[in-house]
Structure 1
Amino acid sequence: MFVDVHILQTVPPSNINRDDTGSPKTAVYGGVRRARVSSQAWKRATRKMFGELVDPATLGVRTKRVVELVAERIGTAVEDPAAAAAQVIKDAGIKLEKPAAKKKGKEEGAADPVDLLEQSKYLLFLSAAQIDRLAQLAIDTATTGVSDKAAAKAAANGADSIDVALFGRMVADSADLNVDAAAQVAHALSVHSVNNEFDYFTAVDDRAPEDNAGAGMIGVVEFNSSTLYRYATVNVGLLAENLGDDEATAVAVANFLTAFVRSMPTGKQNTFANRTLPDALVVSVRTDQPVNLVTAFESPVDALGTARSAGAAKQLVERYRALETAYGTSEATNYVVVAANGLEILSELATPASLSSVVDQVATQVRDALGVAS
């Protein structure tokens, strides 16, 4: 079972995901330049929203400062919690290294001891339960004086939180700690061509003399506006395998749907106040394979005086029908949410409903498929 999520979302002038030069990210698709928001940016926004939907203490942490993290859980239970944490992490097969020295000015004091602790060579994604188990094992090891590498690996494995189960974990030093991501998120692309624009701004010094006509600061911010097509899919079987609990799987699917639909990356949000909600949402619960419908927009949507989201909805339905005719149907169950005028054509796929209703229906369908007793 795969849960495909298709979103049309119009975003006003904004720069929610920048490249290394500060420009809004773009990509060429269908021969024209498109606005783009990277999958990583929207996955992080989704993960951050999980904290509003479930107990934050149950979620995972992605960090290089894993020694510090485990040492905090150990607390005062051992004489040197940092050393105990480092030992159990190394026993789990995770390599550590000293952090790079920071350049310090003449007036700066001594470095914070926490900043001198060893770190993993890469961002490590651990669930709350895994952190607790590693901390307890570190305490036990410090008490007995005997380390157990097998136990350390077991402590760092299993008991995945929903964010780790959905987005996965790669540990280069110890492949047996890897977690295959149950969710895939595509780069969001505009359904039309874009040209980035520039906002030349000035900031006036409030304490400047009255006869000063100049500005305290000047600068340029690059931006664009677009109607985006966003896509993600969840492999329900793999998610159930990662979590090891069918009811937790249904809850995780529901939380992912809510968070992915409602979240937005925060780049330059104070400058542009660009936060919007989707114009429309289509969820397809499939039994064959995930299907990204971005090819509906290889030919850019031409507004012609109407909302681009309306044209995008039309092209989305046409591509869905074409693929269904060409390749047969998997008996997919569709759910639709419509929040903008002119998108009534989406009702051909399913009767529009509210987001909360759709989330509940999808979760129920997942429970039925997994055999969860009602």
Structure 2
Amino acid sequence: MSVKIEFHMIQSFPPANLNRDDTNMPKDCDFGGVRRARISSQCLKRAIRLHPDFQRFTELPAADRTRRMIVPIQDKLIKAGMDPQKALDSASDFVKELLGGLEKQKEKEQYPRSSVLFYVSEQEIDSIVEWILQKDKGEKVDWKKVYIEKFSQRTSAPDIALFGRMLAENPALSLEASCQVAHAISTHHVNMEMDFFTAVDDLQQDEDPGAGMMGITGFNAATFYRYAAIDWGQLVENLGGDAELAKKTVRAFVFAMAKAVPTGKQNAFAAQTPPALILAVLRDDGQAWSLANAFEKPIVAKKDNSILHQSVAMLDNHWHELDCMYGDAQRPAKPIVLVLPEMEGELEFLKEYKKGSLQDFGEAVCDALPQE
């Protein structure tokens, strides 16, 4: 049965608008009968996969999700000596055949776009270029067939292996995600607030009163519970059986997850605060537990106990209760904890599993993975 790696985080942000809805307000939801702040799963995943630590630890470039796949293919074909127009035509033909069509090119657009977004790695682009060049030399190459044979149900891109790829037009190129990421929710009730702002026109004459412009920005301040889970077996399978690259991918995920913060409105709010607690739990019983219900009853700030401190304590207690009720003594879970020293006193059950630094935490997670 496949090993599951859970990640639980408590992270508090000051006033921020990290992830907006269609009205430019911070995203929210109802949980436990009250309004909560929310950061969407897709927002968190993008922040993780684009964080510099993800590429640093995997030692591979991040893949691109794009409708402009033609551009890098043409660029590489030109560098290989192909005529620019021929390179554009060849790249367009390949993408059209692979993805089921191109959008009608607009008048001012230099390149046609594919009809759908496609998640593609640099290695895949290099392979495509190689096949096009082979065909240009007169070799018989069935582009679509060889692409599917090489990249169906596997990839060499760690981020695609984690977060998967879905292509309705060509299901053979879809890839089951090995990582599930929950929407982050506040551990407490949240009121959405509005910042009314004005901008001064520096060259405005004194006799012309008033602001150069006015506007409003929505924001909130919240302590979030974040959760993600990785299926180790699925990750290794997605990477074509490369357990060493899978281990690098988990390490990269740990560091990027801990450091990545969504970019929404950061120039206006600079809400860049690291997590107060990160809990990893490895299980080999095929299960993965979210601890979101620790906060189904919203936490209320107390005079002598902050929401952040209470959130850490509630997570610790809820984990212990679930472990007592559902834990398997024959296959016990392996928890690993990283917590700020000032929060350490809030841990009653997880304290013995504490690591002193993110480096030690990451090493402990990787050491606990199956040694294949």
| 1:303 corresponds to | 301
- SS of the residue aligned with 1:13? strand
For structure 2, the 5+ residue unaligned runs are: none
Q: Runs of at least 4 residues of structure 1 off by over 6 A?
A: none
State the distance in 1 between where 2:106 and 2:116 align: 17
Displacement of 1:144:
1.2
SS of aligned partner of 1:16: coil
Letter aligned with residue 170 of structure 1:
M
Matches within 5 A, 1:75-90: 75-76=78-79, 77-79=81-83, 80-90=86-96
Q: Deviations over 1:70-107 (max 9, x none)?
A: 2222225333112212233344x3212224637xxxxx
- Shift in alpha-carbon separation, 1:282–1:342, aligned structure 2, 3 A: same
Q: What is the DSSP-based 3-state SS (H/G/I as helix, E as strand, rest coil) of the residue aligned with 1:341? A: helix
Between the aligned partners of 1:232 and 1:46, the Cα distance in structure 2 is 12
Task: Give TM-score, length-normalised by structure 1.
Answer: 0.90
**Structure 1, gaps ≥5 residues long:** 103-110
In 1, Cα distance between equivalents of 2:102 and 2:320: 54
Moved more, 51-60 or 186-195: 51-60
Mean alpha-carbon deviation: is it higher for 45-54 or for 238-247? 45-54
Of 318-327 and 38-47, more deviation after overlay is shown by: 318-327
In structure 2, which of residues 8, 18, 21 is the aligned counterpart of residue 19 of structure 1?
21
SS of 2:194 mapped into structure 1: strand
**Distance verdict in 2 for CA 1:45–1:122, change over 3 Å:** same
The Cα offsets for residues 55-81 of structure 1, whole Å up to 9 and x where unpaired, read as 776321110111222222222533311
CA contact (8 A) 1:49 1:263 kept: yes
Post-superposition Cα deviations, 1:225-272, rounded to whole Å, max 9, x if no partner, equal 000000011111111111121111111100001101110110000001
8 Å CA contact 1:2, 1:285 repeated in 2: yes
The code of the aligned residue for 1:269 comes to Q
Q: Which amino acid aligns with 1:27?
A: C
Asked if 1 retains the 8 angstrom alpha-carbon contact of 2:49 and 2:62, the reply is no
Matched position secondary structure for 1:223: strand
Cα deviation for residue 53 of structure 1 reads 2.0
**Structure 2 counterpart of 1:152:** 147
* 1:268-310 CA-partner distances (Å, limit 9, x unpaired): 0000111110011111111121111001000001111221111
User: Does residue 44 of structure 1 match 2:46?
Assistant: yes
Given that 1:84 and 1:142 are in contact with CA atoms closer than 8 Å, whether structure 2 keeps it comes out as no
The yes-or-no answer on 1:172 pairing with 2:183 is no
Equivalent residues of 2:227, 2:290 under 8 A apart: yes
Give the direction of change, closer, same or farther, for the CA distance of 1:57–1:319 in structure 2 (3 Å limit).
Answer: closer
**Aligned match for 1:189, one of 185, 197, 202:** 185
Summarize deviations over 1:28-51 as a string: whole Å, max 9, x none: 000000000000001000011145
Alignment of 1:281-320 (within 5 A): 281-288=278-285, 289-305=287-303, 306-320=305-319
In structure 2, which of residues 325, 342, 356 is the aligned counterpart of residue 353 of structure 1? 356
Query: What is the RMSD computed on CA atoms of the aligned residues?
Result: 1.9
* Residue in structure 1 matched with residue 131 of structure 2 by the alignment: 137
